[in-house]
Structure formats: structure tokens, C-alpha cells
Amino acid sequence: MRQTRSETVGKRMLGGTLLSHIAAFCAVAMWGYSFVSSKVLLDNGLGPVTIYVLRFVLAYALVACISHKRMFASNWREEGLFALCGLLAGSLYFIAENTALEYTLATNVSLLTSMSPLVTAFLIGFIYKNERLGLGTWAGSAVAIVGVACVVFNSSTSLEVRPLGDFLSLAAAFSWAFYSLILRSLNAHYDVWFISRKTFFYGLITALPFLLFERGSVDVAEVLVRPEVYGNLLFLGVGASTVAYVLWALTVKNLGPLKANNYMYLQSIVTLVVSALVLGEHVNFIGYLGIVLIIGGLWLGDNINKILDKRRNRL
């Protein structure tokens, strides 16, 4: 398929590996900050599904202004894959994550949803037999997971098993991992603007049934005129949805789903730092230790494999 103009621009933007890593960090940083923005909106009385729908409506409108000439995929199979992207990376991920908070501790949700990079590594090793995952991948992931646990327990040391909430949290982690694998195949045939637009569209369609069952406690129109509400909603729709999803699609295309998803470990660091700066939450020693372990885990995962590969080549 002939590359579109936006695809060419995307390659120029992220042609280098360094820029791809920067793009991944920017996307994850916006998602990490989005937890704080979502908390502000929830505190103002908006429901989790309402927040999700409003941010994706805004994101879809923006992307549709750029990508609007083509409506459908090349065939029904790939159209179905786009529908899966909308379900997995949209309604299922966000609604499962937000609903889990009603049934289990926030620490459980944060820790279990951060398992998506490890789940991605497992799925790649299971599905793609020709892609052998090195020792560094597993060692780095293990260290990073411990780091995530430290960051999560920075403000809480309680961890309880609550089956429904924990199951929903794991479902969110698996849904993001499967989304990354599907995105890998779609990136070979479609530009990131088209992929993002279709993802937002099907994410909205699949969320509508949930919206019907959400009980509203406030007048949405009245709440939306508050500066703290429309300001955070604009960030969620423009930054954490539109810009972040486009950057993520380009990153997965250039780095692959495994390397790209490793950046998801950094999401908890961003949330920790932003919560300290914006919400005044305290960061103690275990929080700082978690930051060091996460960054160290990412470094190990990348460098151990390189060292082992050099030794094999010498032999």
C-alpha cells in the first residue's frame, strides 16, 4: 500500500531511535498525568464512563479533522481488528480499570495494570515462536515490577486480595497487551492518524452501553463550565488521548510492542511525581527506591540482551 503523507511525516518525526524513545516517554508521561486529571473530574461529580466518553469524543473530532478522506479499512477482517483496538485500548481498558477501583484497593489496581509490559513479553514469546525473548527482558521486567510495587506502596502498605477488582485490573493489563500486538500488524498497512481515528470511533461505540447504565449525580452541562473541569478535560482529550495515542502508534511501529510497552512501567513514576507536585502527596524512601528500580529495570532489559548477543556473535 502506498504510504500516505501523514505516514511519511510520522517517519520523519520518529525516524531515529532516540526520537522514538522520547515519543514513548512523552506518551506515557501524559498517561501518568491523566490519573491526576481524572481524579479532579471524578471529584467534581463526573462518572468514569462519562469522563471516558467526553475525552474520546474530543479526541475523535480532532483526529477526524486530519484523517477524514478514508472511511473504512481494506477488508472486513482488518475493520474487525480496528473494532478490537477500540474495545481493547478504549472502553474495555478504561472502564475495567475505573470499575476495579470500586471493588479493590487502588494499590492493587495500580500494580496489576502495570503488568501489561510483562504480559506483552509473554504473549510475544508464546505467539511468535521465532522471536526469542532474552534473559535481559525477563530480568529487567522483574526488577521493574518490584520498582512499580515500591512506587505503589509509597502511600499505602496494604494489599488485599479482592477477586472481582483484581480480575478487572488484570483484564485491563491483558487488553492493553493484546492491543499492542494488534497495533503491530495494522501499522504495516495504515498510517497512525487513520488507526487512531478508528480506535477512538470504536472505543466510543463500545462504551455507549456502559454509559446507559451509569447513574449521573450531577448536571454535566453545569459541571463542564468549571475551569478545573474543562481544563483537565481538554488535557485528557487533546494530550492524553489524541497526541499520546498517535505518538504511541508511531512508537510501536518503530520500536516494536515489546520495547514500547516497557515504557508503561514509567507511568507509575510520573503519577507519583505529579501527585507530589500537584496534590501535595508525600514521597518517602520506598517511593524513591521504586523510581530507581524501574529505571534500572529498563536499563537492564535493554543492555543485558545486547551484551549476551555480542558474546554469542564472538563465539
CA gyration radius, the chain:
19
Q: What is the DSSP string of 117-139?
A: HHHHHHHHHHH-TTSPPPHHHHH
Kindly give, in sequence order, each residue whose CB lies less than 8 Å from that of residue 114, ignoring residues fewer than 6 positions away: 145, 148, 152, 173, 264, 265, 267, 268
Q: In the structure, what pLDDT confidence band is assigned to residue 253 with cuts at 50, 70 and 90?
A: confident
pLDDT for position 13: 46
- Residue 205, burial from CB neighbour count under 10 angstroms (0-12, 13-18, 19+): middle
Apex 171 CA angle, 164 and 106, nearest 5 = 60
Q: In the structure, what pLDDT confidence band is assigned to residue 194 with cuts at 50, 70 and 90?
A: very high
Helix, strand and coil content of the chain, in percent to the nearest 5, comes to: 80, 0, 20
pTM score of the predicted model: 0.78
| Model pLDDT for residues 61-94, shown as the tens digit of each residue | 999 999 988 999 999 999 999 999 999 998 999 8
* Interatomic CA distance for residues 300 and 290, integer angstroms: 15
Report how far apart, in Å, the C-alpha atoms of 261 and of each of 50, 159, 178 are: 27, 25, 11
Nearest 10 degrees: Cα torsion 182, 114, 48, 32:
-100
